[in-house]
Chains A and B, each alone.
Chain A
Amino acid sequence: MRLHRATVTVLAIIALIGIVAGPAPAAETPRRGGILLAALGADPPSLDPHQEQTFATLQPVSPLYSTLLQIEPGNYPNVIGDLATEWKISPDGLAYTFKLHRNVKFHDGSPLTSADVKASYDKILSPPEGVRSIRKFHYSAVASVEAPDPHTVVFKLKFPSASLLLNLASPWNVIFPKKYLDKDPNYFKTHAVGSGPFRFKGRTPGSMFEGERNPDYFVKDRPYLDGYKFFISTETSVRAAAIRSGRAYIEFRDLPDSEVEAIKRQLGDKVVVQSTPFVINFGITINNTRKPFDDVRVRKALTLGIDRYTAGRVLKPLTGLRDVGAFTRPGTEWAMAPAELEKFPGFWRDAEKSRAEARKLLAEAGYANGLKLTLKNRNVKLPYQDWAVYVVQEWRKIGVEAEHRPLETAAWYADGRDQGNFELMIFPFGAWVDDPDQLLSPHTPNSPQNWNRSSNPGLEDLYQRQTRALNPAERKKLIFDFQKVVLDNAYILPGLWWSRNVVHWAKVRNYVAPPSHFTNQKLQDVWLAED
């Protein structure tokens, strides 16, 4: 009886707590069906992600394919398996062994085995004649890929690589069926046969791309959507209008604040805006071989002449350029702490003190009466030209007259990368993920991405050491040292880290925008609350 009374008391307390606290918010039950309509800012040049590096290819094509590993949707940058169920790294860090899901089928009905994974990675690591591999350099540590049995893949390394696991989760490294690659390694530029949650349905170049639900997808009960459709428009205002009119439910890349405000004013809580950072920094590269920019005093004066903190406040609403940082994105585990960063020229909190120092350095270098230079740029308004306009007016305050010269993209590449035909140039550097290997690479002397043409063997050494450092604390120290050398010498001027607005109708559920517009694009967990 006593036990009974105690039980009643406990139940009463639980009931009371329940009444006071109210009902616990029940997780929404995902709804099946519907077509996700999305706006896309460019036309995919081809359908082969191994050979392209534009979001215009990856966003529509990602849902068609599986990858070995993936960045966990909604938990960037955590790496989880996609085709891989488990993996093991050898103690010396020179062998990565992956076990694959069984019963995975390609959309043509053929089984996916380790031979397909090996063939896809072989294409990336050693592309045959006439095939390009854009991100081959991410895998310079890999010696070979082996498939000892149909459900095991082994990556053998030449040296330990701190970034390899992350790069095996690359959304670009989709797994193709080997039999098509054997016939034509360029087959997937115009065809799409994957094992992803959706199958290729159709495409009109320059206009539309669509996929439909894969009923044989190896992940149980996924995807929720019946399909998806991307509409292509290069005009930002048109994509924004498409969202406003409901012709599209989401724009995965970015819409500027002005458009976002207008959309919010009109649609209210019918839309959701996810503002996230972006793994892209818009900086300024300096041609270190040209006079007077071979003089570190001039380069330092130029970096001191830019008030980045004010820039972040002023440019954010106009362009999305926001965060002040060096060569790794602020807020990530590899970033410099603000207190450390503020010790470097160009990052002092006191803008007037920076300008005074800049003028002093210019005078020492023989430019007491001012300096004239040309700042070349890409003829893309957002955020290239807005950033340049800000920088030009900042430099005026230290006596530097910069002529802003926008170029067509093709000419920007030719002058910047190929010929070094520039003094200063707006230069974005970024990556599909916060990977120090990719973010630091453009600043290493031997990199083909190094437009600044600086030569400091110490940097190459630091870069190679950090890429092999498996201990995160040791790697962090090396990354800090690398950034210190570049900042102290002002070989290149980091600008601001971009941010982005992913705008979607509220009925689009279970999509979390990561800081990269390349990841979380498989759409397998996304659902529509209503049609």
Chain B
Amino acid sequence: MRTYLLKRLLLVIPTLFGAAALVFLIMRVIPGDVALLIFGGDQAGHIDPKQLAAMRDRLGLNDPLIVQFGRWLWGVLRFDFGASLWTGRPVMEELLIRLPLSLELALLATLVSVVISIPLGMLAAARQDTWVDYAVRVISIGGLAIPSFWVGILCILLLVIFFGWGPPLEFASPWTDPWANFQMMVWPVLTVGYRYAAVTTRMTRSTMLEVLREDYIRTAWAKGLQERAVVIRHALKNSMLPVVTLIGTELAFLIGGLVVTETVFTLNGVGRFLVDAVAHRDYPVVQALIFLTALGFVVINLLVDLTYAWFDPRIRYR
């Protein structure tokens, strides 16, 4: 176990370095720079060439790429991601404003998706080809087919049109104002949770169906066990490996990937921050967010892998 952990942790280094190098290069290849955008403003503004050159120099954009990359990497080793070129504020400060909201949304949406998907997937498998199964399939395919942001816009419009009510526009922490937080988060959590429940329901159903055809399940039935014991105790636990992997990957994605949902629900989260940073060519912010997202993926994947042994005691880590 210890060797396995050490190996996995060592693999983190090249993974993160690769992600950092790749995003650094991509950001430099695409046209445009932040200095032009700062001076340009909303329209094709008047840009003083001298000030523009001075600004590029000051932001270090004229240095050789290797120097820029080395400088950034040295900062990362000290957990200093530099300052945003767009706002001038430290990247970590900007990130910490947005991270609690994104984490809350990701965790609650994942929770909702798990609460919906596992019972439904299990039920659909246990009642294969009955009306229950068909209903679950319709619900889950609907969730896959309909984009969650569209459901979000629809939710807001219906609430506004029929009840004259819209979700609050300002984020309140669940610890300071739980009611305001609930009003703001309930709709995005439900819409995103439904979308991801659809994926997980499909996965749970199909893996359950596979497991339910195994010999040991037939043995369980032959022993005269009740349906509940066969399905939940024997089949469900053994079908969870791919489902847990999927949930873990979803969680990692949800932390930084809900750009449109965040925009629709006026949530000041990490996804919107990343997209704005790309549009502004705010290199330190983009690099930091991609780096930290990659780190998040690696850590969550590691945790998911470590849970395998709990679901399947035959698994040994070497």
Q: What is A's interface to B at a CB cutoff of 8 Å?
A: 39, 43, 45-46, 52-55, 127, 129-130, 132-137, 186, 189-190, 204-208, 231-235, 237-238, 241-242, 244-248, 266, 280, 408-418, 427-430, 441-442, 447-449, 451
Q: Which residues of chain B are within 8 angstroms of A134 by Cβ–Cβ distance?
A: 39, 41, 45-46
Residue contact B88 to A46, C-beta cutoff 8 Å: yes
**Bound: A63/B102 CA distance, A:** 32
Q: What is B's interface to A at a CB cutoff of 8 Å?
A: 30-34, 36-49, 51, 54-55, 58, 86-89, 94, 97-98, 153, 156-157, 159-161, 164-171, 263-266, 268, 272-273, 276, 279-281
Selected from B159, B168, B264, the residue in CB contact (under 8 A) with A238 is: B264
CB distance from B267 to the nearest CB of A (A): 9
**Bound: A447/B49 CA distance, A:** 10
Q: Which residues of chain A are within 8 angstroms of B51 by Cβ–Cβ distance?
A: 127, 132-133, 136
Return 14 A-B CB contacts under 8 Å, by A number: A46-B88, A53-B39, A130-B58, A132-B39, A205-B97, A206-B272, A206-B276, A241-B157, A245-B165, A245-B166, A247-B168, A410-B37, A413-B36, A418-B36
Residue contact A234 to B263, C-beta cutoff 8 Å: yes
Residue contact A280 to B43, C-beta cutoff 8 Å: yes
Q: Which residues of chain A are within 8 angstroms of B47 by Cβ–Cβ distance?
A: 417, 448-449
Q: Beyond the given A231-B170, A413-B40, could you list 12 further A-B residue pairs with CB under 8 A, ordered by the A residue number?
A: A206-B273, A208-B170, A232-B268, A238-B266, A242-B166, A244-B161, A245-B160, A247-B167, A410-B33, A410-B280, A428-B43, A449-B45
Q: Which residues of chain A are within 8 angstroms of B46 by Cβ–Cβ distance?
A: 134-135, 137, 441-442, 447-449
Q: Which residues of chain A are within 8 angstroms of B171 by Cβ–Cβ distance?
A: 204, 207
**Bound: A241/B169 CA distance, A:** 11
Residue contact B44 to A54, C-beta cutoff 8 Å: no
Residue contact B89 to A190, C-beta cutoff 8 Å: yes
Q: Which residues of chain B are within 8 angstroms of A427 by Cβ–Cβ distance?
A: 44
**Bound: A206/B276 CA distance, A:** 10
Residue contact A204 to B87, C-beta cutoff 8 Å: no
Q: Which residues of chain A are within 8 angstroms of B36 by Cβ–Cβ distance?
A: 410, 413-414, 417-418
Q: Which residues of chain A are within 8 angstroms of B37 by Cβ–Cβ distance?
A: 409-410, 413
Q: Which residues of chain A are within 8 angstroms of B157 by Cβ–Cβ distance?
A: 241
Q: Which residues of chain B are within 8 angstroms of A238 by Cβ–Cβ distance?
A: 156, 263-266
Residue contact B264 to A52, C-beta cutoff 8 Å: no
**Bound: A248/B169 CA distance, A:** 9
Residue contact A247 to B42, C-beta cutoff 8 Å: no
CB distance from A294 to the nearest CB of B (A): 21
**Bound: A130/B265 CA distance, A:** 37
Of B49, B159, B169, B272, most buried by chain A (CB within 10 Å of CB) is B169
CB distance from B7 to the nearest CB of A (A): 40
Given known A-B contacts A410-B280, A413-B32, A45 and B48 have beta carbons under 8 A apart = no
Selected from B31, B41, B49, B170, the residue in CB contact (under 8 A) with A204 is: B170
Residue contact B264 to A410, C-beta cutoff 8 Å: no
Residue contact B166 to A247, C-beta cutoff 8 Å: yes
Q: Which residues of chain B are within 8 angstroms of A442 by Cβ–Cβ distance?
A: 44, 46
Selected from B97, B153, B165, B281, the residue in CB contact (under 8 A) with A237 is: B153
Of B48, B161, B276, B280, most buried by chain A (CB within 10 Å of CB) is B48
**Bound: A39/B265 CA distance, A:** 14
Q: Which residues of chain B are within 8 angstroms of A246 by Cβ–Cβ distance?
A: 164, 166
Residue contact B44 to A449, C-beta cutoff 8 Å: yes
**Bound: A206/B84 CA distance, A:** 14
Q: Which residues of chain A are within 8 angstroms of B33 by Cβ–Cβ distance?
A: 410, 414
Q: What is the chain B residue whose CB lies nearest that of A137?
A: B46
Q: Which residues of chain A are within 8 angstroms of B86 by Cβ–Cβ distance?
A: 45
Residue contact B44 to A416, C-beta cutoff 8 Å: yes
Residue contact B164 to A245, C-beta cutoff 8 Å: yes
Q: Which residues of chain B are within 8 angstroms of A266 by Cβ–Cβ distance?
A: 160-161, 164
Residue contact B32 to A52, C-beta cutoff 8 Å: no
Residue contact B153 to A206, C-beta cutoff 8 Å: no
Of A43, A238, A248, most buried by chain B (CB within 10 Å of CB) is A238
CB distance from B163 to the nearest CB of A (A): 9
Residue contact A136 to B48, C-beta cutoff 8 Å: yes
CB distance from A285 to the nearest CB of B (A): 8
